[in-house]
Amino acid sequence: ALPAKVNIIDVGPRDGLQNEKQLVPAQVKTELVHLLQTAGLREIEVTSFVSPKWVPQMADNAQVMGQIQRRDGVRYSVLVPNMKGMEAALLTQPDEIVVFASASESFSQKNINCSIAESIERFAPVVQAAHAQGIVVRGAMSCTVGCPYEGDIAPAQVEYLARLLHDVGVDRVDVADTIGVGTPLKIQRALEATFKHFGVDNVSGHFHDTYGQAIGNTLAALELGVWNFQSSVAGLGGCPYAKGATGNVATEDVVFMLHGMGIETGIDLDRLVDAGLYISAQLGRPSHSRAGTAIAKK
């Protein structure tokens, strides 16, 4: 049976905006977070504590975390690659830390400048520091079906990474299709490889929509009982180290599908559309959400 409820983690302020060439003011990022929580999002990936030389757009991480007006019941997460990022992140009181690794060795090198095994060594003290303060740790697994440098990625590589993340103490993981080449059955194989180490309640789907497969992949994940998904309002985004990859699947499109299937999300779709229109106007371009665009025209 399909899940009756789905939890959506909007990653637009982080995954969405990190790839923007034009620097988006902290005030706009803050307003985006506020609009998302008003629309009913209960998990928002706000920013990342990475090197500003690698990702200049996230250099205002502490400022944005300091400006947002937090609501009870909303989980604000941040990406952290190492202890240096963790020290800065902890000062801003996040509810969840996201470490990020790759199922592909080449992508690991390009994205975080170290091997998969080295990345796990860097995460170990991060996980410890988070748990010491009662903070949950999510592990993002990139390139779980395909890699911009290596091509196809075997489920065995996903299983290997899931095992390492489990053993280092990560609480939940994202199965990410970073470049959007996954199709439904390949996504199911990557999810099943992950289930060897994490229960379905602790596995989320993170699908980029480069090839228009993300909605189909979301349904394929639902069929396996997955009920946590990452998406970006207005379909914002892309990864600076995955050339040509477009944004995450649009949150509006996922919510439209789920509500149409009678699955609860707790999200007010009209308000979500407004959030998408706001950030698209700020960026000076149309929304990439098909549902958002259609609803706005009604």
Residues 47 and 78 sit within 8 Å (Cβ to Cβ):
yes
Going by the DSSP 8-state scheme, the letter that residue 47 receives in this structure is E
Which chain residues interact with Mg ion by CB under 5 A? 15
CB of 47 to ligand HMG, least distance (A): 10
Binding partner of residue 188 among Mg ion, ligand HMG, none, CB under 5 to 8 Å per kind?
A: none
**Piece in contact with ligand HMG (CB under 6 A), picked from 77-85, 123-131, 159-167, 285-293:** 77-85
Q: Does 6 bind ligand HMG (CB under 6 A)?
A: no
CA distance 281 to 298: 18
Q: Which amino acid is at 161?
A: L
What 8-state DSSP symbol labels residue 55?
-
User: Which positions from 7 through 26 interact with ligand HMG, judged by CB under 6 A?
Assistant: 15, 18
Per-residue contact string for residues 234-253; x = within reach of ligand HMG by CB under 6 A: -----x-x------------
- The answer to whether 55 and 85 are in contact (CB under 8 A) is no
Closer by beta carbon to ligand HMG, 55 or else 233: 55
Is 239 a residue of the active site? Answer: yes
Q: How far is the CB of 269 from ligand HMG (least distance, A)?
A: 24
SS3 197: coil
- Of 117, 186, 179, 121, the C-alpha closest to 150 is 179
* Tokens matching residue 212: 């228009």
- Short-list 238, 234, 227, CA closest to 180: 238
Does 106 bind ligand HMG (CB under 6 A)? Our answer is: no
Q: Kindly state whether residue 145 participates in binding ligand HMG, applying the rule CB under 6 A.
A: no
Q: Which of 114, 143, 147, 239 is catalytic?
A: 239
If one counts every other C-beta atom within 10 angstroms of the C-beta of residue 298, the result is: 6
- Are the beta carbons of 143 and 184 closer than 8 angstroms? no
Identity at 74, one-letter amino acid code: V
Binding string, residues 167-206; x marks residues near ligand HMG by CB under 6 A: ---------x-x---------------------------x
**Region 37-66 residues binding ligand HMG, contact defined as CB under 6 A:** 48-51, 54-55
CA distance 48 to 29: 13
Q: Which residues are catalytic?
A: 239
Using CB under 6 A, list all residues that contact ligand HMG: 15, 18, 48-51, 54-55, 79, 81-82, 84-85, 100, 111-113, 140, 142, 176, 178, 206, 239, 241
